[in-house]
Structures are given as structure tokens and as C-alpha cells.
Amino acid sequence: MIEKLLIHRFRGIYKGHLEDFARFNLLVGPNNTGKSAVLEMLYLGGVCGRECGLVVEATGDRFTAAAPLENDFLGFNPCSRLWARHGEKEEWEKSPATLTEDGTLVYRLPLDYEDFLREFRLVPPPSEETEYGGFSGKDKKSIAAFALPGAPEIPGELVPFKDEIEGLTGYVFLYQWYDQFVHKHSEKGLSTWALGGKRPDSRRVLFFDFHTAHGNFQSSFFEFARILPDWYRKIERSLGKIFPDMAGCRVEMVPAGEKEMRGEIRLPGRKPLPVDAFGDGARHAFKVLAGLVALVEAVDEEHPGLFLWEDPELFMHPATLGKLLAETINLVKKKPVQVFISTQSLEVIAWFGKMIVDKKLEAQALRTYTLTLSKGELQTKMHRGENLKEWLKSGFDPRFRAVSEDMLPFGWYLLTDTEGGPLW
């Protein structure tokens, strides 16, 4: 599992770290404190699985590196997907890359400071070692990141926080240079970060967000998922647990354009309906379950998975939300899948706390991180499972770093009875 994350520079977060990750990790805190940025870093780091070489022009040194896959678990181009999330075009029209005839990407970054990676090349491996013959014109417009496995021979100039890491074993260093993701005031540059621990298999990283809930499935994902054992049946069973009126339903996927598929649900005794004809909560649950069921069927100990979920509370009734979270835990708890969830919802946090109390989730499997930003530095307060339970029992709101007048009044009373004592 991923155990640590160190950040040097990333869209307004100049420096910070999170560590001691568990199987289930909640990222909470005020707006603009880096929750989405952390999810995006974990995602981008996870999908860097296309082997290549990094050649630093200043020295001529060559290192083994990895670029993002052409398509993630759901069939989306990783960098393009992140850009579209923020209203940017899916292709970088003014990419600093030049594509050579042999499929090499040559970069000359317009940095506002001197850096070892001002000029570098991403070089395809020898043709007999890879399935692809080099980078393409599409890669030129959609690659803005690479990963560098940690090794003693990596020079300090490539790792700005090298002194903060006790040895490089188990770390992967990541670099990202898309302007809008690194831009801070007038400065342009590289974002750099490190992931400690065991990374997931790059083809088994599922990132689910608001845009995924409102879009169709890619045909490439469907072609993969439909041959998994009982994929439809398992989605149906999960839906029945969350929505009692869907018990006994039948699920299908039908074409929705040249490269897309959409879900349909046939309730007992009724005609099939597109999932998007249901309420937002139902289609949110359907789409996240369709992806998650496929992920847990695709992983094993040698190919662990990563599930990144942004704002699971969106569109969900509190009771249904609890059932959806419980089913998520039920699906992944015996599988090699690590989960990161960002949320603004006290209900999400409380449901996880209740599942610890009810023995449906082991306390040591949960970490909650309260994120704040101070002068560009990421700061965190971490609650382990038992610590989170006691925090909630005392009536405190973990979305705030400390007890303060900014806390919402119901945060003090939501989990207490009329006598002022804790319900748990």
C-alpha cells in the first residue's frame, strides 16, 4: 500500500506531507486546502506505468522512468482527464514538447528558475522490450508527467526534498509540469512529489468523481468489465442492498455513441430504463458500483488496486449514503485495494465511525486527515480509527483542525442524546 506522500510544489501547495496511510483514508478540511490536489497526485502517480527512459540534457544521464498510460481503468487518458476536470482543453495546444521521428519527446520547459529538468527527453525503450513503438502526436499533447523509481543513483538535483527522506527504498518520485497545475502567482515550474510504499498496479487505479457520475462509460472499459465473472449480477446485488426497491433488478449496458456505453436498469415487472433517467443519487451509486465491482474482480496480491473517490456524499440521502459506504467496505475489505476518499460531509465521517463501533471495519484500517494550508504549506492532523471515534463521541467536528468558533453548532450535538451524553 501507499504509505507516505511528500509534496514540493503542486497548484498552490508548495510543501507538505501525509504519512501512515491505511487501507481506508479520509481527506477532510475546508475548501482550497488541497484535498482534490492530493487525490489527483495519487491518481497520476498510480497510472504512470508506461516504461520509458529519462535523459537529462544537462548531464546526459539516463534513468528508468514511466509515463502515464494511454488510458486509465475507466478508459480515459489520465492527464487529459485531469485537465478537463478543471475546465481546460483535453489537448495541450502549446505543449513544450517536440516529437522526433523515432518517437522521443523532447522537452524544453519555460521555467522561471534554474532546474535540472529544464531540458530533458522521454525516450521509448528498445522496440523488443515494449508493445509500443514510441510516443505519438497524441502523447505530445497529453503527457505532462512522468515517474522516476527511487534509487541511490538519483542525483539530489532531481529530488528537492531528498534530505527529508531516510533512504530512497520504496519511493517513487513524480514530476508534473502542466502550467495551470503548477502555476502560483507568476511562477511557472515543475511540481515534484514522492510516494512511499507499494504503488498500485497502474492499470488498476479507479478515480471516481462528479464528472464520472454524469458521464457514460468508455467502450474500452465495458469490453474489459463485461468478461469479468458475474459483473452484472454483482452490480445488481449491490444495488439491491442500497435501494430496497431495486431488489431483483437486472442490469445491462447498451451503446451510447461510437465509443461509449450507458447503463440500463430493469426493475421487476417493468421496462428497462437508462440509469440517467433515475435520480442523481441512484445513477451516482450505480456508476461507482459498476466501476468498483470491476476493480475488485481485477485485482490480486501481485496486482493491487487503488480506489480514489471524490465527494461520495454528492446527491445521496444520508441513509442511502451509509448503505453505499457500507457496501463499498464490504466489496473491498478482503481485496488488495487501498481507498482514498475526499469529503466535506460530517455524515461520511460519522458513518465510518459507526462502522468501527459496529465491528464492520477494523479501527486500525482507517485514517482521517484534516488538511489546512498556511502560507502555501500543507498541514495535516491525523486521526486513527479509535481516535476518530473518541473525537466524534466528544462532539467535535473532524473537518476542522482544532476546536474553534468556526465549528458548526450541530457538530457538537449530532451524536449526543438529549441529556448531553454520547450515543455510543
CATH number for the domain spanning 224: value is 3.40.50.300
Cell numbers at 385, concatenated: 480509527
> Does 416 reside within a domain?
no
Give the pLDDT of residue 55: 96
- Cα separation values, 245 from 112, 236, 240, Å: 58, 12, 7
> Does 293 reside within a domain?
yes
Each residue's pLDDT tens digit, 31-46 = 888 999 999 999 999 9
Domain interval for residue 10: 2-204
Domain match, 265 and 314 both: yes
Res. 150 pLDDT band, cuts 50 70 90? confident
Residue 51 CA, chain-centre distance (Å), reads: 21
**3-state secondary structure string, 134-197?**
CCCHHHHHHCCEEEEECCCCCCHHHCCCHHHCCCCCCEEEEEECCHHHHCECCECCCEEEEEEE
Rounded to an integer, what distance in angstroms lies between the CA atom of residue 197 and that of residue 2?
Answer: 5
Cell numbers at 173, concatenated: 518520485
Of 24-38, 52-66, 165-179, 378-392, give the lowest mean pLDDT range.
Answer: 165-179
Domain match, 248 and 345 both: yes
Domain match, 168 and 183 both: yes
Residue 144 CA, chain-centre distance (Å), reads: 17
Asked which of 152, 169, 204 is the last residue of a domain, the reply is 204
Domain match, 144 and 227 both: no
Give the mean model confidence (pLDDT) for residues 212-223: 94
Q: Tell me the pLDDT of the chain averaged across its residues.
A: 89
Q: Which residues contact 286 (CB under 8 A, 6 or more apart)?
A: 235, 239, 251, 263, 265, 275, 278
Res. 415 pLDDT band, cuts 50 70 90? very low
> Does 123 reside within a domain?
yes
Q: Residue 225's closest CA among 203, 248, 197, 247?
A: 203
Rounded to an integer, what distance in angstroms lies between the CA atom of residue 225 and that of residue 158?
Answer: 39
Res. 154 pLDDT band, cuts 50 70 90? confident
Domain match, 176 and 279 both: no
> Does 49 reside within a domain?
yes
Domain match, 168 and 269 both: no
Q: Residue 371's closest CA among 38, 9, 20?
A: 38
Res. 366 pLDDT band, cuts 50 70 90? very high
Do the Cβ atoms of 282 and 270 come closer than 8 Å? no
Domain match, 197 and 223 both: no
**373 C-beta neighbours (distance < 10 Å), count:** 18
Domain match, 211 and 194 both: no
Domain match, 149 and 8 both: yes
> Does 51 reside within a domain?
yes
The single residue listed with the C-alpha cell 452484472 is 232
Each residue's pLDDT tens digit, 85-108 = 999 999 998 899 999 999 999 999
Domain match, 76 and 14 both: yes
Domain match, 171 and 74 both: yes
Asked which of 138, 173, 204 is the last residue of a domain, the reply is 204
Asked which of 366, 383, 399 is the last residue of a domain, the reply is 366
DSSP secondary structure string for all residues of 18-56: EE---SEEEEE-STTSSHHHHHHHHHHHHHEEEEEEEEE
Do the Cβ atoms of 181 and 11 come closer than 8 Å? yes
> Does 324 reside within a domain?
yes
- Name the more confident of 63 and 375: 63
Q: Which residues contact 244 (CB under 8 A, 6 or more apart)?
A: none
- What phi-psi label fits residue 359: left (phi over 0), alpha (psi between -120 and 50 degrees) or beta? left
Q: Which residues contact 102 (CB under 8 A, 6 or more apart)?
A: 124, 134
Do the Cβ atoms of 137 and 170 come closer than 8 Å? no
Domain match, 137 and 230 both: no
Q: Count of domains in the chain?
A: 2
